[in-house]
Amino acid sequence: MSPAQPPEIERILFTEGEIAQRIAAVAAEVSERYRGRQLKLIAVLKGSVFFLAALAQRIEVPLKIDFLAISSFASSGKPTGVVRIAKDLDEPIEGEDVLLVEDIVDTGLTARYLLQTLAGRGPNSLAICTLLDRTCRRLVQVPVEFRCFEIPDRFVVGFGLDYRQLYRNLPYIAVMRP
Ligand code: PRP
């Protein structure tokens, strides 16, 4: 049984079925792009773990998984782009084809920092795959090679995304009431 729909939810944006369908399509794109190679999926904790699990099961090339945890710093409630790595990768990525797996790219500040940091470790290739892309909030341009959904400027939860650490386990993606 799935968790009951919390009263804070305004409406469901993407159902469980729609999410599964888009992830399968994006996994097919990824498999095509990296055919004949081995992939390293790097997931950024915590939001991306649900997407990572679903995506990885659908990708057809051999792959390894590693995790990063980060803390982002804000000033007067605004993101600064200053990021600290709280848990680093377990293994080097030199010479590897790396796909950074995110639940959401918003201002782009986190993705830009992570791309710069990981690029310095000498991977063979480096690209981003995100479940959600909220381009209307971009502050810096980042290349997003693979995306499942573009979303409007609303606060969303579910499928890994939280509100004060809650609702990550909702099997759908929903808009919160203002
Ligand atoms: C989310 C997401 C990205 C970041 C994107 O993480 O996973 O890392 O925000 O935002 P940006 O494009 O504005 O930099 P969050 O800080 O919510 O952490 P969580 O995954 O643990 O929920």
How many whole angstroms from 104 Cα to the centroid of ligand 1? 6
How many CB atoms lie under 10 A from the CB of residue 64? 14
Give the number of C-alpha atoms closer than 13 A to the C-alpha of residue 144, restricted to the C-beta side. Answer: 27
Question: Out of 88, 106, 133, 153, which one is annotated catalytic?
Answer: 106
Say if residues 123 and 97 touch (Cβ distance below 8 Å).
Answer: yes
Which sign, positive or negative, has the C-alpha torsion 161, 167, 173, 178?
negative
Predicted pLDDT at 161: 98
Instruction: Give average pLDDT by consecutive 10-residue segment, the chain, 178 residues.
Output: 84 98 98 98 97 98 97 81 92 98 96 96 98 97 98 97 96 95
Residue with tokens 């990572």: 52
Tell me if residue 106 is catalytic.
yes
CA distances from 87 to 38, 48, 84, 94 (A): 24, 15, 9, 18
Give the closest residue (by CA) to ligand 1 atom 15. 47
Predicted pLDDT at 17: 98
This model's pTM is above 0.85:
yes
Give the chain's domains with CATH numbers: 17-71+81-154 (3.40.50.2020)
Predicted pLDDT at 81: 78
CA distances from 170 to 9, 32, 157, 162 (A): 11, 30, 8, 9
